[in-house]
C-alpha cells in the first residue's frame, strides 16, 4: 500500500497525510490505479452535477474538478513543454525554458487548447459515459509509464532523476490492465480506445525522441494531459456512439 499512497500523494492534491517512504520505482506502477481513483471521483461528481445541470455545464465542472484534484500538476507540465519544444531551439535551451517557472504564450495556448478539447470530449460522451469517465484518467496516467520505460531522463540532476534510476520492467505495467479490462464492457468502442491509446503513446514517444532524445517531468505531464484530452475526444465522436 505504501507505493499506492506515495503515488496518490505525488500526482494528486488529495489530502492524504500518512508518511510513507519515497521509493519511486514502487510508486510508478500504481499511476493507473490513481487514475481509476480519480475517475471514480469524477463519475460520482458527474452524476450529481448532471442531475441539476445540462451536460455541457456538468462537463465543464468535470474538467475543473480534474484540475483541482491534481493541483494542475500535469497542466503545468503541458504549458512548460509547449514553451520549451516550440520552435527550433537546441535541446539545452529547450530544457532551460521548461525549467523556467514562468509560462509563455505557447504554454498558455497549449493549456487552453488542451482543456477545450477535454471539455468538448466529455460533453460529447453519451453511451458508456460513466465507464469512460472512470477509465480514461487511468489510461492517461498509465501513458506516463511508457515514457519512463522507453526514454532516458533529460537532466543530470533534479527530483525526476530518482524515477529513472531503476528501469521499469514489463511487470510494472500490470495495473494498466485494469482499465484495459474495464474497456471490454464498452464493446468495440473500448477496442478503439485501446488502439488510439497505443497509437498516441507511440507518436508522442517518437516525437520526444526525435525532438529531444530524452524526457523530463514536464514532458511526462504533457503526455498525460494530451492523452486524457485526446481519449475523451475520441470516445465522444458520433461513430463511437457519442452524442448525436
pLDDT in tens, 67-111: 999 999 899 999 999 999 987 788 889 888 888 878 888 999 999
pLDDT confidence of residue 216: 92
Taken in order 58, 108, 7, 117, the sign of the CA dihedral is positive
What pLDDT does 50 receive?
Answer: 93
pLDDT tens readout for residues 22-72: 788 889 999 999 999 999 999 999 999 999 999 999 999 999 999 999 999
- The pLDDT value recorded for residue 52 is 96
Mean pLDDT of the chain: 90
The pLDDT value recorded for residue 244 is 41
C-alpha separations of 232 from 1, 128, 140, 150 in Å: 30, 12, 10, 25
pLDDT of residue 241: 47
Q: Render 121-190 in DSSP notation, one character per residue.
A: HHHT--TTHHHHHHHHHHHHHHHHHHHHHHS-BS-SSSGGGGGGSSPPPGGGGGGGHHHHHHHGGGTHHH
Per-residue pLDDT at 5 exceeds 60:
yes
Q: What is the pTM of this model?
A: 0.92
How does residue 242 score in pLDDT terms, banded at 50, 70 and 90? Answer: very low
pLDDT of 112 strictly over 70: yes
Of 19-23, 76-80, 114-118, which gets the smallest average pLDDT?
19-23
Can you tell me the mean pLDDT for 149-168? 82
Q: Which three cell numbers stand for residue 134?
A: 472512470
Average pLDDT over residues 169-187: 93
Given a cut of 50, whether residue 14 has pLDDT beyond it is yes
Give the residue-averaged pLDDT of 120-139: 94
pLDDT value at 240 more than 70: no
Amino acid at each position: 500500500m505504501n507505493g499506492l499512497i506515495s503515488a496518490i500523494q505525488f500526482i494528486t492534491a488529495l489530502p492524504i497525510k500518512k508518511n510513507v517512504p519515497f521509493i519511486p520505482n514502487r510508486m510508478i506502477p500504481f499511476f493507473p490505479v490513481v487514475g481509476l481513483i480519480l475517475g471514480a471521483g469524477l463519475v460520482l461528481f458527474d452524476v450529481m452535477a448532471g442531475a441539476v445541470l445540462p451536460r455541457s455545464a456538468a462537463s465543464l465542472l468535470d474538467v475543473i474538478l480534474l484540475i483541482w484534484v491534481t493541483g494542475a500538476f500535469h497542466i503545468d507540465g503541458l504549458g512548460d513543454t509547449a514553451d520549451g519544444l516550440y520552435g527550433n531551439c537546441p535541446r539545452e535551451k529547450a530544457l532551460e525554458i521548461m525549467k523556467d517557472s514562468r509560462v509563455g504564450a505557447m504554454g498558455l495556448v497549449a493549456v487552453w487548447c488542451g482543456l477545450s478539447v477535454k471539455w468538448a470530449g466529455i460533453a460529447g460522451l453519451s453511451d458508456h459515459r460513466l465507464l469512460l469517465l472512470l477509465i480514461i484518467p487511468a489510461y492517461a496516467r498509465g501513458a506516463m509509464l511508457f515514457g519512463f520505460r522507453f526514454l532516458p531522463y533529460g537532466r543530470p540532476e533534479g527530483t525526476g532523476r530518482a524515477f529513472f534510476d531503476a528501469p521499469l520492467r514489463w511487470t510494472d505495467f500490470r495495473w494498466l490492465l485494469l482499465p484495459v479490462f474495464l474497456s471490454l464492457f464498452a464493446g468495440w468502442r473500448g477496442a478503439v480506445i485501446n488502439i488510439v491509446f497505443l497509437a498516441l503513446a507511440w507518436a508522442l514517444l517518437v516525437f520526444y525522441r526525435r525532438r529531444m532524445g530524452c524526457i523530463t517531468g514536464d514532458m511526462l505531464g504533457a503526455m498525460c494531459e494530451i492523452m486524457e484530452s485526446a481519449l475523451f475526444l475520441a470516445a465522444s465522436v458520433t461513430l463511437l456512439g457519442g452524442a448525436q
